[in-house]
Chains A and B, each alone.
Chain A
């Protein structure tokens, strides 16, 4: 039927426009839901962290601390001994050296050995200056001795009484000993 006066046709709303408010609601719920998940995870992590902290402090028991202290003390002791042994000079090796290097015409009668300053003062008797010179030369040539100096000479009863100052390299005594 043809209408003389046409009715205004009802405008149809698009589907998207109808859904949008619901989507906006959904967005609010999503944010709340995410917050709840995050909060739950946070609480769980907090509990876990507490447990780990407890485990750490439980691990540091008195026995653990005692053993640690004992080992550290022992290590310090080994370090101390190593340092002392490193600087140790063996006196006996000096005598062994002297016995080998005594000239047949020279007799040693006194010895003053100072290992702290790596010095020795040898007193002795010789029949002639040549032997004494050879003795000093023999000392000087050896690696065991850094330097040898004739300190004083006295002629008494046809004999030459002398003192020789010997300078030892601070680390040579042990080196020679190990040879």
Chain B
């Protein structure tokens, strides 16, 4: 009888010690690990969904290549002033009958402190000559060009003689990254 009590007491003590110092911490670690696994599974699931979305957007952008090209040319990666000047020359002389007399440009975003825009702004000053109708057509061409061009200033006055051309002073704003 006496031995039985000793055996029971020792067994229960061992059980309690094992339970508290071995089983319980392991069980808590397991719980922690399982919650990490659940979190990672959710992360994986979201990542897969996001990847699917990205690739579907990529496919639809490839299908709308024309639109992408238009957007890229509206705000090009490079200022590409020579091709802009070529466009201005063509749209003045060839398309509208205006004459481009002088052009100068400068980057205005550089001079602006604390600017928030990701893109750069350039100002182009044009001196043109031609008729009023030709000038209006020139403005239409600029406003409909694939490259984003904003006419921010325009100045002209009627010539003193009837057959003389009108001189126009125009300031444009173009943008690039």
Known contacts: A28-B11, A38-B23, A49-B40. The answer to whether A80 contacts B119 by CB under 8 A is: yes
Q: A74-B61, A84-B150, A116-B153 are in contact. Are A39 and B26 (CB under 8 A)?
A: yes
Tell me if B158 and A110 are in contact (CB < 8 A). Answer: yes
Q: Is the interface of B mostly helix, strand, loop or mixed?
A: helix
- Is B61 in contact with A116, judged by CB distance below 8 angstroms? no
In the bound complex, residues from chain B placing their C-beta under 8 Å from that of A1 are none
Q: Mark A57-93, 1 if CB is under 8 A from B, else 0.
A: 0011000100110110010111011001100111110
**Interface of chain B residues 1 through 42 with chain A (CB within 8 A):** 1, 3-4, 7-8, 10-12, 14-15, 18-19, 22-23, 26-27, 29-30, 33-34, 36-37, 40-41
Contact for A17 among B4, B48, B61, CB less than 8 A? B4
Contact between B33 and A27 (Cβ–Cβ < 8 Å)?
A: no
Q: A49-B36, A68-B54, A71-B58 are in contact. Are A109 and B150 (CB under 8 A)?
A: no
Q: Which residues of the partner chain B approach A80 to less than 8 Å between Cβ atoms?
A: 75, 117-119, 175
The stretch of A29-37, A131-139, A149-157, A164-172 that contacts the partner chain: A29-37
Q: Interface residue count for B (Cβ, 8 Å)?
A: 58
Contacts of A21 in B (CB 8 A): 3-4, 7-8, 11
Chain A residues near B105 (CB-CB < 8 A): none
User: CA separation between A35 and B29, bound complex, in Å?
Assistant: 12
**Binary per-residue interface labels of chain B (147-177) against chain A in the complex, 1 for a CB within 8 Å, 0 otherwise:** 0101111111110000000000000000101
With A21-B8, A52-B44, A80-B118 given, is the CB distance from A35 to B22 under 8 Å?
yes
In the complex, chain A residues 87-144 whose Cβ is within 8 Å of any chain B Cβ: 88-92, 95, 109-116, 123
Report how far A68 CA is from B72 CA in the complex, Å.
17
A residues near B151, Cβ cutoff 8 Å:
91, 115
Minimum C-beta distance from A32 to chain B (A): 7
- The answer, yes or no, to whether B126 is at the interface (CB within 8 Å) is no
Quick one: given A24-B12, A38-B30, A56-B44, are A78 and B158 in contact (CB under 8 Å)?
Answer: no
Q: State whether A91 and B61 are in contact (beta carbons under 8 Å apart), knowing that A64-B51, A68-B54 are contacts in the complex.
A: no
Q: How far is the CB of A64 from chain B (nearest CB, A)?
A: 6
Count of chain A residues with a beta carbon within 8 Å of a chain B beta carbon: 56
Q: Does B47 contact A (CB under 8 A)?
A: yes
Whether the pair B153, A115 counts as a contact (CB closer than 8 A) is yes
- B125 shortest CB reach to chain A, Å: 14
Q: A41-B30, A78-B71 are in contact. Are A24 and B11 (CB under 8 A)?
A: yes
For A114, the closest partner residue in chain B by CB is B153
- Residue B94, interface by CB 8 Å: no
With a cutoff of 8 Å between Cβ atoms, the chain B residues found around residue A55 in the complex are 44
Q: Which residue of B8, B23, B58 contacts A20 across the interface (Cβ within 8 Å)? A: B8
Query: How far is it, in angstroms, between the C-alpha of A78 and the C-alpha of B55 when the chains are bound?
Result: 19
- What separation, in Å, do the CA atoms of A116 and B123 have in the docked complex? 13
CB distance from A113 to the nearest CB of B (A): 5
Kindly list chain A residues whose C-beta atoms are within 8 Å of the C-beta of B27. Answer: 38
Minimum CB–CB distance for A71 against chain B, Å: 5
Rounded to whole angstroms, the CA-CA distance of A110 and B158 in the bound complex is 6
B61–chain A nearest beta-carbon distance, Å:
7
Closest 7 CB pairs of A and B: A24-B11, A110-B157, A21-B7, A109-B158, A92-B139, A24-B8, A52-B40
